[in-house]
Amino acid sequence: MTTPPEGWEARGRPPSWFRRFTFAKYAETRDFLDAVAALSEELGLHPQNINFAATHANITIEGPERQAPGAAELAFALRINALAASRVLP
| Beta-carbon-side half-sphere exposure of residue 58 (alpha carbons within 13 Å) | 6
Which range binds a second copy by CB under 8 A, 8-16, 40-48, 69-77, 81-89? 40-48
- When asked if residue 22 is in the footprint of a second copy (CB under 8 A), the reply is no
Q: Are 16 and 69 in contact (CB under 8 A)?
A: yes
Among positions 9, 12, 24, 51, the unique one binding a second copy when judged by CB under 8 A: 51
- When asked if residue 30 is in the footprint of a second copy (CB under 8 A), the reply is yes
**How far is the first Cα of the chain from the last one, in angstroms, to the nearest whole number?**
29
- When asked if residue 52 is in the footprint of a second copy (CB under 8 A), the reply is yes
